[in-house]
Structure 1
Amino acid sequence: MSFIKSLGKPSGAVALLMLLTACGAETPQATGESPAETAPAATDGGALKLGTLLPLTGDLAQYGAPMQDSVSFLVETVNACGGALGQPVALISEDDQTDPAAGASGMTKLAEVDQVAGVIGAAASSVSSAAVDIAVRNEVIQISPSSTSPTFTERANNGDFNGFWFRTAPPDTYQGEALARLAQEQGFTEVAILSINNDYGNGLIQAFVPAFKALGGTVVNESDPTRYAPDATTFDSEVSAAFEGEPDAVLLIAYPETGSLIVKAAYEQGLLGGNTKFLMTDGMKTGNLAELIGQGSDGQFIAAGVLGTAPSAGGPAIAQFKEIYTGKYNRDPQVYDPNSWDAAAILVLAAEAAKANTGAAVKEQIATVANPPGEQVTDVCQALELVRQGQDIDFQGASGTLDFNDAGDVAGAYDVWTVADDGSIQIQSTITIGGAQ
Structure 2
Amino acid sequence: MAVLPLLTACQPGNPSNPATTTSLQPATLDEGLKLGVLLPITGDLAPVGQPMVAVLPLLVDQVNACGGVNQAPVTLIIEDTQTDPGSGMEAMSKLVEVNRVHGVVGAIASSVSSGAVDVAVRNRIPLLSPGSTSPIFTERAKEDDFRGYWARTAPPDRYQAAALAQLAIDRGYDRISTIAINNDYGVGFEQAFVNAFENLGGTVINQANPTRYDPKATTFDSEIAAAFGDSPDAVLAILYPETGSLLLRSAYQQGLTDGVQLLLTDGVKTESFPDDVGQTADGSYIVSGAIGTVPGASGTGLEALTALWEETQDTSIGAFVPHAWDAGALLILAAQAAGSHDGEAIMAELRSVAGGDGVEVSDVCEGLALLREGTAINYQGASGNVDIDEYGDVVGNYDVWTVTDEGAIAVIEQIRLD
Whether TM exceeds 0.5 here: the answer is yes
Of stretches 320-329 and 403-412 in structure 1, the one that deviates more from structure 2 is: 320-329
Instruction: Kindly indicate whether the alpha-carbon contact (under 8 Å) linking 1:42 and 1:116 is maintained by their aligned counterparts in 2.
Output: no
Q: Which residue of 1 aligns with 2:237?
A: 252
Matched residues, number: 406
- Please give the alpha-carbon distance, in whole angstroms, between the structure 2 residues aligned to 1:249 and 1:357: 50
- Please give the alpha-carbon distance, in whole angstroms, between the structure 2 residues aligned to 1:285 and 1:78: 30
Match of 2:344, SS? helix
- 1:25 paired to 2:10: no
Counterpart of 1:269 in structure 2: which amino acid? Answer: Q
- Please give the alpha-carbon distance, in whole angstroms, between the structure 1 residues aligned to 2:357 and 2:271: 37
- How does 1:149-298 map onto structure 2 within 5 Å? 149-274=134-259, 276-298=260-282
Instruction: Kindly indicate whether the alpha-carbon contact (under 8 Å) linking 1:278 and 1:306 is maintained by their aligned counterparts in 2.
Output: yes
Instruction: Kindly indicate whether the alpha-carbon contact (under 8 Å) linking 1:75 and 1:89 is maintained by their aligned counterparts in 2.
Output: yes
- 1:341 paired to 2:325: yes
- Please give the alpha-carbon distance, in whole angstroms, between the structure 1 residues aligned to 2:174 and 2:11: 57
Provide structure 2 residue ranges, at least 5 long, that are not aligned to the other structure: 13-24
Instruction: Kindly indicate whether the alpha-carbon contact (under 8 Å) linking 1:342 and 1:399 is maintained by their aligned counterparts in 2.
Output: yes
- Please give the alpha-carbon distance, in whole angstroms, between the structure 2 residues aligned to 1:248 and 1:227: 19
Match of 2:117, SS? helix
- 1:67 paired to 2:46: no
- Please give the alpha-carbon distance, in whole angstroms, between the structure 2 residues aligned to 1:404 and 1:25: 31
Q: Match for 1:356 among 331, 340, 343?
A: 340
Counterpart of 1:271 in structure 2: which amino acid? Answer: L
Counterpart of 2:346 in structure 1: which amino acid? Answer: V
Shift of 1:33: 9.5
Structure 1 ranges of 4+ moved more than 3 A: none
Match of 1:429, SS? strand
Counterpart of 2:402 in structure 1: which amino acid? Answer: T
- Please give the alpha-carbon distance, in whole angstroms, between the structure 1 residues aligned to 2:368 and 2:221: 53
Q: Which residue of 1 aligns with 2:109?
A: 124
RMSD (CA atoms):
1.7
Q: Match for 2:130 among 145, 149, 152?
A: 145
Match of 2:415, SS? strand
Shift of 1:331: 2.1
- Please give the alpha-carbon distance, in whole angstroms, between the structure 2 residues aligned to 1:340 and 1:89: 16
Q: Which residue of 2 aligns with 1:372?
A: 356
Over 3 Å counting, the alpha-carbon distance change for 1:264 and 1:159 in structure 2 is same
Q: Which residue of 2 aligns with 1:51?
A: 36
String of CA shifts for 1:270-308, please: whole Å, max 9, x gaps. Answer: 12232x111001001111111111111011111111000
Counterpart of 1:380 in structure 2: which amino acid? Answer: V
Instruction: Kindly indicate whether the alpha-carbon contact (under 8 Å) linking 1:42 and 1:115 is maintained by their aligned counterparts in 2.
Output: no
- Please give the alpha-carbon distance, in whole angstroms, between the structure 1 residues aligned to 2:268 and 2:85: 20
Instruction: Kindly indicate whether the alpha-carbon contact (under 8 Å) linking 1:279 and 1:307 is maintained by their aligned counterparts in 2.
Output: yes
Match of 1:192, SS? strand
String of CA shifts for 1:318-373, please: whole Å, max 9, x gaps. Answer: 11111111111132110010000000000000000000001100011111111021
Using the aligned pairs only, state the percent identity.
50
Instruction: Kindly indicate whether the alpha-carbon contact (under 8 Å) linking 1:42 and 1:117 is maintained by their aligned counterparts in 2.
Output: no
Instruction: Kindly indicate whether the alpha-carbon contact (under 8 Å) linking 2:277 and 2:286 is maintained by their aligned counterparts in 1.
Output: yes
Shift of 1:117: 1.2
Shift of 1:42: 5.7
Instruction: Kindly indicate whether the alpha-carbon contact (under 8 Å) linking 2:178 and 2:236 is maintained by their aligned counterparts in 1.
Output: yes
String of CA shifts for 1:38-80, please: whole Å, max 9, x gaps. Answer: xxx8613231111001001100000111111111211111111
Provide structure 1 residue ranges, at least 5 long, that are not aligned to the other structure: 1-7, 9-22, 35-40
Over 3 Å counting, the alpha-carbon distance change for 1:33 and 1:70 in structure 2 is closer
Shift of 1:255: 0.6
Instruction: Kindly indicate whether the alpha-carbon contact (under 8 Å) linking 1:289 and 1:303 is maintained by their aligned counterparts in 2.
Output: no
The two structures have a TM-score, normalised by structure 2, of 0.94
- Please give the alpha-carbon distance, in whole angstroms, between the structure 1 residues aligned to 2:118 and 2:327: 19
Match of 2:374, SS? coil
Instruction: Kindly indicate whether the alpha-carbon contact (under 8 Å) linking 2:106 and 2:129 is maintained by their aligned counterparts in 1.
Output: yes
- 1:89 paired to 2:74: yes
Instruction: Kindly indicate whether the alpha-carbon contact (under 8 Å) linking 2:279 and 2:286 is maintained by their aligned counterparts in 1.
Output: yes
